[in-house]
Amino acid sequence: MTTKQEFVVVVVPMSEIKKFIVIDIIGGTALYYMIKLPLHSVMIGMFGSMIGPLLIRRSLRGRRSRKTYTVLF
């Protein structure tokens, strides 16, 4: 008696990885220093670096279309 084992394969395109690095890591760090240096507030800089990438991604979301790929085994 054999049992069917199912598993999910998730494919992350290289463009999504690049977008994450540019928007979240580089953009978040740049926003942190752009806010922190003139205002001398670590707290405001921290919140700005968290909210900034969210707003950037939200503004870019309307421009792209979603593609769904299904892999069957």
4 token code pair = 């069917």
Q: With helix as H, strand as E and coil as C, how does 24-61 read?
A: HHHHHHHHHHHHHHHHCCHHHHHHHHHHHHHHHHHHHH
pLDDT for position 61: 83
pLDDT tens, position by position, 15-44: 999 999 999 999 999 999 999 999 999 999
Output the pTM of the full model.
0.66
pLDDT tens, position by position, 36-72: 999 999 999 999 999 999 999 898 887 665 666 666 6
